[in-house]
Amino acid sequence: MFEPYIIQHGFKNLDFFIATPLARDWYDPPKGYALLEYQWVIENIPLKGKVIVDGGCHHGHYSLVLAKEHPRRLIMVDPHIQNLDVAEVNLFLNCLHKGMSLRCAALWNQTGKINYDGQSNGAISFGEGIEIDSIRLADLNPKVVKLDIEGAEYVVVPDGLATCNVDSWIIEAHSGNQTEPNAQDHLARLLKDDGYELDWVNREKMVVERYKLGTIWPDHSTLFARR
């Protein structure tokens, strides 16, 4: 039978509470490409004093890295209330809860209600599943946005480009069920056309490198966009 436990996060001497079997599979041990990404983010994206949105924060593994850099406000958004409970524990466990706020909602391109499938790593389900609040990035007015929202980035990012003045994006871009082949590259083109410089995590090579438009993506990886 599974029992929760605490591990070393793997970055900056942080602790991390493993609350579920899924969290154990994802975070224990921490993935090498994730640690590579975290180091690159703190070295290349200004976070101190910023309003940051962590969309799809899950249990707060990425949130801890962002919070460690002393943002003005860290808004952690997730549609699964139990995820937020664990994320809150992890921020308090590391005394990084100052400026933290939690929103049980899904990021989308309109404010109102939407359905998701109810899973810890769930996705928007359009008319089925659990009804929750939906919010727009424009409601939160962030300067830095991290997204891991299971395909909803293809709706949220274009809306954010139209309505927000975001300095930096950190986007785990998924293949999901997108009808457009290589939808991640199309998303990269939207950001490039809006004036952002692009980098990405090449997990095959285990490096962060300048993103080249036309790249054929694996299932998913992380795209960075900076002004």
Q: Where are the domains of the chain?
A: 31-226
The pLDDT score that the predictor gives to residue 220 is: 86
Closest CA to 220 of 205, 197, 191, 200: 200
Where does 31-226 sit in CATH, by number?
Answer: 3.40.50.150
The pLDDT score that the predictor gives to residue 179 is: 57
The pLDDT score that the predictor gives to residue 34 is: 97
- Rounded (5°) CA angle 124-130-134: 55
- Given a contact cutoff of 8 angstroms between Cβ atoms, the answer to whether 116 and 129 are in contact is yes
Ramachandran class of 186: left when φ > 0, alpha when ψ lies in -120 to 50, beta otherwise: alpha
- Given a contact cutoff of 8 angstroms between Cβ atoms, the answer to whether 111 and 85 are in contact is no
**pTM given for the model:** 0.97
* C-alpha dihedral, 88 to 94 to 99 to 101, nearest 10°: -10
What whole-number distance in Å separates Cα of residue 35 and Cα of residue 167? 22
Q: How many residues does the chain have?
A: 227
The pLDDT score that the predictor gives to residue 219 is: 80
- Given a contact cutoff of 8 angstroms between Cβ atoms, the answer to whether 41 and 67 are in contact is no
CA within 13 Å, CB half, 91: 27
The pLDDT score that the predictor gives to residue 176 is: 59
What whole-number distance in Å separates Cα of residue 134 and Cα of residue 128? 15
The pLDDT score that the predictor gives to residue 181 is: 75
Tens of pLDDT along 188-222? Answer: 999 999 999 999 999 999 999 999 999 999 888 99
The pLDDT score that the predictor gives to residue 30 is: 95
Going across the sheet that includes 207-210, the strands are: 100-104, 73-78, 51-55, 144-147, 168-174, 220-226, 197-202, 207-210
| Residue 213 Cα distances to 112, 168, 192, angstroms | 35, 18, 9
- Round the CA-based radius of gyration of the chain to a whole number and report it: 16
The pLDDT score that the predictor gives to residue 126 is: 84
What whole-number distance in Å separates Cα of residue 30 and Cα of residue 174? 20
Show the low-confidence residues of the chain (pLDDT under 50).
Answer: none
The pLDDT score that the predictor gives to residue 178 is: 55
